[in-house]
């Protein structure tokens, strides 16, 4: 396996991951034909299907169904990892630049044995199993003292970066914290220092009072379109109880989160004809889990538009849709 590297951009303060091993995927750097679709990926070529399990790498975690007849979720190491835990986590200077080996963990969560499913179409107990899988792997990866952040995310569809049709999500654990996350932490800290309140809790309280951007809620979670949404039909799912660390989710919260995640994604699935999307669980970095100003949440971004030159040059998003209109559309 080729050795990866992480380099610090001195101008922006952002880290860049170089993962040459990912070039080994046959579809990398090739332009697909016009009729290519993830929906056409066959079971015969799928490494995650039942009859292909002998070809997968070591299973890191497996959750069985209620009858213990078969598995509901499995976790395996990514065959083409962005980061590798065999590398050295220490930083070094290369002239005026800072770099380090590509240390970290990269795992794949196989969400179902059924090749054709997606979270919007799975049964609630199956989604609860996915959330429990996330929780267990999150806690396990945070046992590595070199890890500063665990990022749980899902790429659905070609435009969102998915290369396989079989329902799956991914977990990457890094020894760095990106500067954009530190900026969010700093803004939350400034707000807390000024008002002695969590900015996310204040957002949640206001949205629940106004109702116009709420999509759906239950006793423990709220799904809404954020006031300054950067993408059409962007959705945030936030726990009503203040907590910075996703790993502290309770069994009751697990069920409530699974319920509202399915509901939110089902609305996208049926109202927007199963659009490509990304979601990520934004949670506290190491040493920030008990901070009073931070609040974990799930961010869903449908890939309905393509950022262009202005967004790249300015860092400002252009959203052609209005959050209140999107919320009414999804809520209806």
Known catalytic residues are 168
**Tally of helices (H runs) and strands (E runs) in the chain:** 6, 14
Q: Nearest 5°: phi and psi at 95? A: 70, -120
Output the CA–CA distances (angstroms, integers) from residue 125 to 8, 59, 73, 329, in the order listed. 42, 21, 11, 28
Q: How far apart, in whole angstroms, are the C-alpha atoms of residue 133 and residue 149?
A: 17
Supply angle C-alpha 299, 276, 271, rounded to 5.
Answer: 85
Which residue's structure tokens are 């030159």? 309
Does residue 257 contact residue 162 with C-beta atoms inside 8 Å?
A: no
CA-nearest of 245, 252, 230 to 299 is 230
Sheet with 59-64, edge to edge strand ranges? 59-64, 71-77, 104-110, 168-174, 149-156, 277-282, 297-302, 235-239, 221-224, 214-217
């Amino acid at each position: 396996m080729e050795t990866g590297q992480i380099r610090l951009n001195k101008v922006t303060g952002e880290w860049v991951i170089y993962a040459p091993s990912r070039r080994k995927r046959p579809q990398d750097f090739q332009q697909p034909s016009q009729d290519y679709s993830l929906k056409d990926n066959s079971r015969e070529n799928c490494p995650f299907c039942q009859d292909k399990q002998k070809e997968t790498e070591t299973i890191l975690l497996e959750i069985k169904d209620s009858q213990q007849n078969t598995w509901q979720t499995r976790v395996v190491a990514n065959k083409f990892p962005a980061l590798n835990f065999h590398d050295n986590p220490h930083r070094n200077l290369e002239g005026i630049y800072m770099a380090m080996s590509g240390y970290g963990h990269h795992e794949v969560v196989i969400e179902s044995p059924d090749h054709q499913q997606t979270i919007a179409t799975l049964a609630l107990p199956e989604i609860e199993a996915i959330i429990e899988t996330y929780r267990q792997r999150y806690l396990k990866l945070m046992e590595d003292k070199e890890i500063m952040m665990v990022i749980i995310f899902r790429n659905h569809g070609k435009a969102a970066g998915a290369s396989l049709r079989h329902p799956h999500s991914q977990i990457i654990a890094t020894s760095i914290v990106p500067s954009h996350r530190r900026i969010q932490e700093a803004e939350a800290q400034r707000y807390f220092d000024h008002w002695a309140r969590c900015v996310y809790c204040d957002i949640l309280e206001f949205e629940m009072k106004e109702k116009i951007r709420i999509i759906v809620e239950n006793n423990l979670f709220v799904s809404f379109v954020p006031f300054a949404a950067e993408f059409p039909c962007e959705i945030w799912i936030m726990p009503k109880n203040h907590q910075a660390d996703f790993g502290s989710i309770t069994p009751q919260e697990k069920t409530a989160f699974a319920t509202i995640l399915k509901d939110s994604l089902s609305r996208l699935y049926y109202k927007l004809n199963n659009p490509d999307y990304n979601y990520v669980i934004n949670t506290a970095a190491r040493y920030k889990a008990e901070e009073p100003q931070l609040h974990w949440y799930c961010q869903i971004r449908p890939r309905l538009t393509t950022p262009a030159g202005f967004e790249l040059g300015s860092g400002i998003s252009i959203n052609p849709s209005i959050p209140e209109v999107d919320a009414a559309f999804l809520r209806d």
